[in-house]
Amino acid sequence: MALGNMSEGLIRQRRNLISVSGVLIFLKFAGVEISKLSFLGLDFDELKNPSAFYLLIWVAYFYFALRYYQYFWQEGRSKLTSYYISGVGHLTIDKVWTNAKKNKINGEFRTYEPNTLEELEGNDWKYEATYRKADGTETVVGKVLEKKERVKCRVNTIINLTFHTSAVTDYLLPFLFAIGALSYCFTGSTSSLHWAFKASFF
């Protein structure tokens, strides 16, 4: 299972959010103190209010976070939902088939129904398996897919999406990285959000 290609807009916003989050983490982790700045060939030998520079980075952080969220909501959310539902459906129906086939008491397994996730869920997870005995007669046996088996299918789908596809790194990693940067850099250094806001306005 592979996720579809990301649009150029989403890739751009993803890159911007990861980059600014990385800068904020680096500034605090390295203990960077900015006293001079060079921009467009102009050298600013002394910054009397370096908090303004940090505040500018934080403004960019929140802007890029908002932009990425907007692109994700329009594009990434539907893709993730589609692949999750598809994965759950595949594993659930495969589990029903396995449960029905391994029951040898009623004869040779022939078929089962319902055979889609939507129909199975609408039928309160009840399904009927058909078996053919040695004399040619068929027996229909009603079964229920247990809750623990349904939960296992959902958990396995999440694991598959996380480790066997690019879902997490493509769409969710930027959110996790941004949240981590906000938590780590909220306070505790001159580049923190708390200090930059307080020093700039109070």
Helix (H) or strand (E) holding 127: strand 126-132
Pair 74, 81: CB distance under 8 Å:
no
Phi-psi region of 78 (alpha: psi -120 to 50; beta: other; left: phi over 0): alpha
How is residue 81 written in tokens?
Answer: 């939902």
pLDDT in tens, 44-102: 556 667 778 889 999 999 999 999 999 999 988 888 888 899 999 999 999 998 888 87
pLDDT in tens, 149-176: 999 999 999 999 889 888 888 899 999 9
DSSP letter (8 states) at residue 33: -
